[in-house]
Structures are given as C-alpha cells and as structure tokens.
Structure 1
C-alpha cells in the first residue's frame, strides 16, 4: 500500500474513533472516510481492535520519541521533568483527537486495558527514570518512582482531556504552569 493510503487510513481511523468511540465505529466508516475499499484496511489489520491498538501504540511511541529527543543527559532532573510536563501538554494539544481516543477508550475491555498499560508503560518509564535521578541527586523527595510517574502522567492526561472535551480553550502555558506547580509543590502554600 502506498504511503498516502496508509496515512489516509491512519487519519480516518483517528477521526472516526474520536467522533464515535471504539464501540460505535465501524471499519466501513473508516474505509469511507479514508476513501479506500474496506478490504484495503483488512489487508493490513485483521480487526478493528488491531487497528485501534496500532493507532494507540503509534501515538504513544510518537509521544515518547518526541520527549526523548529533547532530553539531554546534562540537564538537571528538575529541568528534565519540566520538559516532560511541557511536552506531554503540547503533544495532547497538537494531537487532540488522539488524546481523546487514548484517554476515553482506555477503559475498554480487560484485554484492551492490558495492552494500553503495556504501551503507556514505556512512556512512564521515561518519567520514572527522571524521578529516580532526582531522588538520587537529592533534588526530589523519596517516593515510589513508579507511582509518581503514573501520577504525573495521569494528572496531565486527565487535565488535558477535561479541557479538550469541555468548552475552554486549550491554553498550553496555563496548563503547564498549573501542572508544574502540582508536580513540584502540590497545593499547599507553605
């Protein structure tokens, strides 16, 4: 299949899953939106579930690679964590439909949840390593790094989804300022 057809199918699937949700979306809908035969989609993906998981995996990989490409070894842990927060917020703003799919549909069946956790885990490991580095250098408090990474990912993700599904404008700078404050100092004024 030519790259252009792959891109059309990919974008059509994102659009349809975002608009209709996984359960109501059909391969016919995706084929019609991509302007390709349904058989073309089935040639590459055995099922709607396989296509959906492929989209999620590609999106998470794009997020992880985007963040990794900007992290420099010489950056201090605080700066690294700020960069992660900023880049995740930017990514969700840039790929709004993907964000909606990822977060709204992640509560699907048990098999889908297991696959999602596996895919997201690769990104959360990146956050976890920065937290461990910060703890090792005495910059961050001692916490369970895995839970802290999940908390940071979740906090940013749910806040972004709340804005994207609501009516407020997606102001990346305001969201970054608030999420950075929550990640580094919490709600307390002391």
Structure 2
C-alpha cells in the first residue's frame, strides 16, 4: 500500500484540525448559551467534549476564540439563508406571475415561514448567545441586526406588491404591512421558539401565515 506523501498529509491534517475545532465549538455552544460566556470555563467545555485542556489549547487560545468561531459560523449561516430567500423571491420571475393564485401564494408564504422557524429552532442556542453576549461580539450587533431586518422587510415589500398586482391581497401600503409582518415574525420567534418550546413548527407556520395573509377578518 502506497504511503501518503507529505504533500497529501498536510491537507488531511488541516481537515482533521478543522473538524476538531468545529466539534469543540458545537459542544461549547449550548454551554455558553446556558451559562453565559463569562461563567463558562475551559474545563466545562473539555468535560463536555471528552478532551483534556492541553488538547483544546492546540486548537484555541482561549474560550473567547471558541466564542468567535461560533458567532462567525452563525453569521455565515444566516447570510446564506437570506441569500436563498432572495433567490426564491417571487418578484424576480415576472413571467410566472400569471401562474400564481391564492393557494400558491399562501403555500409560498407558509413554506418560507416554516424555513425561518426551523432555522431558528435548530440554532436556538446560537441566537441566545448573540442576544445575551452582544457586548462581547467583535462586530456591531445592532448594525448586523438592522441589516438583517431591513433585508427581510425588502423581501416582504416586493412580495406584497406582486400579490397586490395579482389581486390576492388588499391594496394597502406595503411599507407598513411589511413592518407588521416582520414584527409579528420576530415576536413569534422570540416568545414561541427562543423563550418557548416551539414543538410543532408546522402548526406555528400555519397560524402565522393565516394572520399574515388574511389579517384579522374571517377566513374565506
């Protein structure tokens, strides 16, 4: 059997190191979310990871470096989700507008809501870290949050305009309706998933979509 050359060994070693770093960060995430960065110790992370402190220090200088990797990974994940939402934006394919009816529009909104709820539920610990440790972040969390919300508002505004052109929703000012929609999503995410259990996200997506699509009037 041919032995791996030094050239082949380096990428493999790097990959193993990156996998170990990711594993440590993944294990550390719920601990930091529960105890906070200040109260979390290297020993806590080592015990949960099943490694010795000297092994951890081969990959990270300190717990702050672990924290920074956790936050960096989540920012990349959130950016990817926003980009995917922009790619599936109904307003970009005007040729298919005629094919959109009320059921199609409703299902589109529900699926989008479901993806958001699912993402938040799967990354609940990461969101708790961002909210609780904002002062320790290396970037402007307020600006990051503002950009995320403004991007979401922009997507909803364009959707509202498409649905209005098709006569599927009332002719209201999209700027205000989008604020109501995004605001209701944020409150639902916070109270039902981040602070609550959010066990049945399909029912949650159905309920919030009905509110967004039909308002407080009687359903058709």
Compute the TM-score of the two structures, normalised by the length of structure 2.
0.61
RMSD: 3.7
Say if 2:110 and 2:206, in contact at 8 Å, map to a contact too.
Answer: no
Match runs of 1:161-180 below 5 Å: 161-164=194-197, 170-180=199-209
Say if 1:14 and 1:101, in contact at 8 Å, map to a contact too.
Answer: yes
SS of 1:170 mapped into structure 2: coil
Q: Report the Cα distance in structure 2 between the residues aligned to 1:60 and 1:142, rounded to whole angstroms.
A: 28
Highest CA radius of gyration, 1 or 2?
A: 2
Compute the TM-score of the two structures, normalised by the length of structure 1.
0.69
Q: Which runs of 5+ in 2 are unaligned?
A: 1-13, 165-171
Aligned length: 182
Q: Report the Cα distance in structure 2 between the residues aligned to 1:125 and 1:80, rounded to whole angstroms.
A: 20
- 2:33 is the alignment partner of 1:10: no
**1:141 alignment partner in structure 2:** 173
Q: Report the Cα distance in structure 1 between the residues aligned to 2:176 and 2:65, rounded to whole angstroms.
A: 34
Q: Report the Cα distance in structure 2 between the residues aligned to 1:148 and 1:114, rounded to whole angstroms.
A: 28
1:84 to 112, 116, 124: 112
Q: Which runs of 5+ in 1 are unaligned?
A: none
**2:36 alignment partner in structure 1:** 21
Deviation at 1:18, TM superposition (A): 3.1
Q: Report the Cα distance in structure 1 between the residues aligned to 2:69 and 2:82, rounded to whole angstroms.
A: 20
